[in-house]
């Protein structure tokens, strides 16, 4: 092993320890959501964006706020509503008059931060939803013909209520595809809910502390991309995503299947999960665990499949059986 490889492994080991402390800190604020915390951290370690889907009251907002504190990220929140306008997110130019002179001055919107919480994103109109597309993909916004760069790192963690459909606008496929993972937030266990009651309904309400700074997060994102992935695992990823495309073994159940961004998401997320586990490279176990959050929002069942009682998660399990 050469010096460069030894140094890289030492950095991996040190970062894994810090990330374990980060996960523990978040677990002391949001109870019973270990899988959700892991998937949120994977999303950020990949430099991506996450879509948290769950019913109200499952601490999605609290988790995002705690993540911002623990990772030292400047975070802002936007409550999406039907009357929200793109300028409410991106910012706008106003006419200033001083010393007898008039000039336009740009006022930054909440998107100019390092961690943006888009709360109930599907409640905004398609016009407003699309305001985030350029920001999520290019890390910049174009306003009045001028390109303005966003802070680095920049992440969007959006929430969505899967129950209420009235007064909502389903996210277009192009925007869904820009979320690295769809993170389903389930109801907590009995013991986790008991801990939550003790921690949140008495006088003391524990808050998160800074563990990993934003500069260290950027370094972690670079290390994730430096981690090797075996050719066999890459072949498994390609085989998995292609089973749901036209001509694939399970394509007859779908209106559309996962595109190349799914393969890219797997490539990054596999390495980020390995880093969280303290492993030097990802394994097949990581692929199995990440298949659902990577693929859920990148596929849609057709009418026949829904009529036969198929679900997205069960179909992904069949895809894994075909690919592995």
Q: pLDDT tens digit string along 70-103?
A: 999 999 999 999 999 999 999 988 888 777 788 7
pLDDT tens figures, 254-295: 999 999 999 999 999 999 999 999 888 899 999 999 999 999
Give the sign of the dihedral formed by CA 80, CA 58, CA 262, CA 139: positive
CA distance 90 to 35: 32
Q: Which runs of E-coded beta strand occur in 114-237?
A: 115-119, 140-143, 146-149, 155-160, 181-184
β-sheet bridge partners, residue 301: 254
CA distance 244 to 265: 16
3-state class (DSSP) for residue 162: coil
3-state class (DSSP) for residue 42: helix
What are 61's two structure tokens? Answer: 């907002």
The per-residue pLDDT of the chain, averaged, comes to: 90
pLDDT of residue 276: 93
Average pLDDT rounded to a whole number, residues 158-180: 86
Most trustworthy range by pLDDT among 31-35, 130-134, 179-183: 179-183
| DSSP state at residue 139 | S
CA distance 146 to 38: 37
pLDDT for residue 1 is more than 70: no
Lowest model confidence (mean pLDDT) among 12-16, 134-138, 241-245 = 12-16
pLDDT tens figures, 136-164: 999 999 888 889 999 999 999 999 988 87
CB 248 within 8 A of CB 290: no
> Any idea what the Cα angle at residue 127 is, between residues 122 and 130, rounded to 5°?
75
CA distance 100 to 119: 42
pTM: 0.93
Q: Which runs of E-coded beta strand occur in 73-149?
A: 75-79, 91-98, 101-108, 115-119, 140-143, 146-149
* 72 φψ region: left (φ > 0), alpha (ψ -120 to 50), beta (else): left
Domains of the chain from N-terminus onward = 1-226 (3.40.50.300), 227-324 (1.10.8.80)
pLDDT of residue 106: 87
CA distance 261 to 179: 10
What are 134's two structure tokens? Answer: 């350029």
Average pLDDT rounded to a whole number, residues 5-34: 87
Q: Treating both helix axes as pointing N-terminal to C-terminal, what angle do 3-27 and 34-45 enclose, rounded to 10 degrees?
A: 140
């Amino acid at each position: 092993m050469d010096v460069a490889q030894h140094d890289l492994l030492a950095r991996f080991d040190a970062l894994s320890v810090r990330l374990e402390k980060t996960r523990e800190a978040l677990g002391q604020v949001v109870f019973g959501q270990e899988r959700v915390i892991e998937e949120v951290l994977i999303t950020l370690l990949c430099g991506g964006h996450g879509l948290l889907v769950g019913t109200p009251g499952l601490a999605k907002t609290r988790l995002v706020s705690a993540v911002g504190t623990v990772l030292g990220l400047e975070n802002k929140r936007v409550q999406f509503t039907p009357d929200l306008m793109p300028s409410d997110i991106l910012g706008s130019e106003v006419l200033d008059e001083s010393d007898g002179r008039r000039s336009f001055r740009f006022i930054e919107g909440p998107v100019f931060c390092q961690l943006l919480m888009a709360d109930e994103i599907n409640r905004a109109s398609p016009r407003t939803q699309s305001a985030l597309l350029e920001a999520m993909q290019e890390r910049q916004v174009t306003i009045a013909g001028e390109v303005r760069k966003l802070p680095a790192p920049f992440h969007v963690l959006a929430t969505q209520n899967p129950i209420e459909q009235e007064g909502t606008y389903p996210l277009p496929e192009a925007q869904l595809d820009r979320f690295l993972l769809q993170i389903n937030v389930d109801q907590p266990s009995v013991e986790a809910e008991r801990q939550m009651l003790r921690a949140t309904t008495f006088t003391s309400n524990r808050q998160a502390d800074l563990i990993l700074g934003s500069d260290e997060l950027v370094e972690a994102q670079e290390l994730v991309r430096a981690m090797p992935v075996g050719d066999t695992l890459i072949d498994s990823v390609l085989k998995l995503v292609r089973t749901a495309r036209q001509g694939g073994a399970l394509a007859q159940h779908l209106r559309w299947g996962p595109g190349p961004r799914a393969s890219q998401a797997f490539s990054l997320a596999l390495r980020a999960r390995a880093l969280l586990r303290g492993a030097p490279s990802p394994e097949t176990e990581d692929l199995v665990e990440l298949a659902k959050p990577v693929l859920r929002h990148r596929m849609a069942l057709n009418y026949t499949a829904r009529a036969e009682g198929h679900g997205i998660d069960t179909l992904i399990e069949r895809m894994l059986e075909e690919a592995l």
